[in-house]
Homo-oligomer: A and B are copies of this chain.
Amino acid sequence: MLTQVVKDRLSEIVGPKNIITNQGGMAAYGYDATLMSQVPVGIVFPRSTEDVSALVIYANKIGLILVPRGAGTNLSGGSLPLEGSVIVCFSRMNRILEIDPKNFTATVETGLVNFDLQEELEKFGYYYPPDPASYKASTLGGNIAECSGGPRCFKYGVTRDYILGLEVVLPSGKVIEIGGKNFKSEFRYDLTRLFVGSEGTLGFVTRAILRILPKPPAKRTMLAIYNKVEDASRSVAEIVAAGIIPTTLEMMDNLLINTADEHVGLGLPLDAGALLIIEVDGYDVDLDNQVRLIEELCKKSDVRDFKVATSQDEADQLWLARRTVIGSVGRRSPSYSLQDVTVPRSAFPQMVEAILACSKKYDLPIGILAHAGDGNFHPLVLFDERKPDEVARVHKAEVDMVRAALDLGGTMSGEHGIGVLKKEYLGLEFSDLAIDLFRRIKRSFDPHAMLNPGKIVDIVPAELVEKRKGTVDGTSL
């Protein structure tokens, strides 16, 4: 608990309306989209970079741990508070500061929701390519912290490819500006990409200059239905091998087709083994050729039905099914575990097999959801967390899937970050040498581990962690 002195000072910094210290309010911020939770000792909502800087300076003075939070949609525990920490929630810092179509840039405060930016950009005929499934809720600051991907990343790349400039409050409370509107620049060393994906552990990003693109003149959305998931996975391999780069190439298996359809009511074929949602964009005149070629390749791998959406509304419905599918599994089981394993594209079919084998071995339903073009899988393991036996099997299945991906030259994490969830697997993927470098970087930015400690790597000895828990009552004042 925070003492009144600390509460008063925090309230002075952010304003009395922008702090929560009651138990009920705090509990609402003690979770993210993983299964873990931990109630913080306070939540503050800074209104400006100056507020964030003042918070960090004060936190340094009294030894308070700060944990950043956007919308809490993250999937690896990156925004989960540690015991005794104060959450810095960026939702009040959500202004679009400038849209500059001539330079293909948008400058935003990082509490801005991704979708709100997209809506505004639409008016100018522009868009911001990274589109995590959560984009209707997730903030750009969260996207930057996790280096989020999304369906469109197959063609357009991930968050790191769209950040031109950042304003960051460093662990000292000082504010640094990095980069700018230049398409090419050499900020040496590359602090921009060091902060992107650093999960708020090296500094809090308060503003960003994003690269935006003119909307493609036209697009086509296709739905390919298969009897067997293996057939769909062959189609993916065929399309990629043909050198075609669709905007998106998404896969859902039978389990997820069923939960999505129950949720959205699209009339999807419930007996299908899998479906692919394929989108291409570009100049109208050549899209029909691309669609024809993709259809041919799908037929080679025994597609059962191949449709092109005839209206924007039909395409939107398909995307609604895809974007809400993770939530839809709640209809089938009280809990789910979501992985983020990624393999080189050519190993896509082998990874599908590994997931199927895992499901059988541990007798657990696993829904296969994949950004197939990227080799990025989000297997959804359904279970009941009240059954310890099931939980134990889920844990084993997770480790098996991570190992299978690594054996195929893959990675445990494509776009959801490390956070606390995958910290325990770090040693499976990264050498001691790499982990040592991670620690050195963390130490050189945040030697006292004041900002989002315990995420990605630990640098503070256990005794100090214990000791710090005691300081949050303000006794060190």
A190 at the interface (CB under 8 A from B): yes
Determine whether the beta carbon of B444 is less than 8 Å from that of A443.
yes
Residue A39 at the chain B interface, CB threshold 8 Å? no
Complex CA gap A177/B345 in Å reads 20
| Smallest CB separation, A399 vs chain B (Å) | 18
A144-176: CB near B (< 8 Å → 1, else 0) gives: 000101000110011011000000001000101
Q: Kindly list chain B residues whose C-beta atoms are within 8 Å of the C-beta of A160.
A: 190, 193
Contacts of A282 in B (CB 8 A): 282-283, 286
* CA of A160 to CA of B434, assembled, Å: 20
**Min CB–CB distance A143 → chain B (angstroms):** 13
A431, closest chain B residue (CB): B176
From B100, B176, B285, B414, contact of A285 by CB (8 A): B285
On whether the beta carbons of B342 and A374 are closer than 8 Å, the reply is: no
Q: Is A343 part of the contact surface with B, judged by Cβ < 8 Å?
A: yes
| Residue from the set A102, A153, A170, A183 with the largest chain B CB neighbour count within 10 Å | A183
- For window 173-221 of chain A, which residues contact chain B by CB distance below 8 Å? 174, 176-178, 180-191, 193-194, 196-199, 202, 214
Q: Which residue of the partner chain, among B147, B180, B440, contacts A344 with CB atoms under 8 Å? A: B180
- Distance from A283 Cβ to chain B, minimum over Cβ atoms (Å): 4
**Is A437 an interface residue when CB atoms closer than 8 A count as contact?**
yes
Report the bound CA distance from A214 to B414 in whole Å. Answer: 23
B411 touches A186 (CB 8 A): yes
Task: Given A186-B418, A194-B189, check contact A176 B240 (CB 8 Å).
Answer: no
Cβ-neighbour of A189 out of B241, B346, B456 (below 8 A): B456
Given contacts A161-B157, A283-B289, contact A437 B344 (CB under 8 A): no
Contact call B197/A188, Cβ cutoff below 8 A: yes
A199, B190: Cα distance in complex, Å: 12
Closest to A192 in B: B193
CB of B194 within 8 A of CB of A194, answer yes
Contact residue among B100, B240, B343, B430 (Cβ-Cβ distance under 8 Å from A346): B100
A182 touches B440 (CB 8 A): no
A413 surroundings in chain B (CB, below 8 A): 185-186, 188
Binding site for B on A (CB under 8 A): 100-105, 125, 147, 149, 153-154, 157-158, 160-161, 170, 174, 176-178, 180-191, 193-194, 196-199, 202, 214, 237, 240-241, 243, 245, 282-283, 285-286, 289-290, 342-346, 371, 374-376, 409-411, 413-418, 430-431, 433-434, 437-438, 440-445, 456
12 sampled A-B residue pairs with Cβ under 8 A: A102-B346, A103-B344, A149-B184, A158-B184, A181-B409, A184-B374, A184-B376, A185-B342, A189-B442, A190-B193, A190-B197, A444-B444
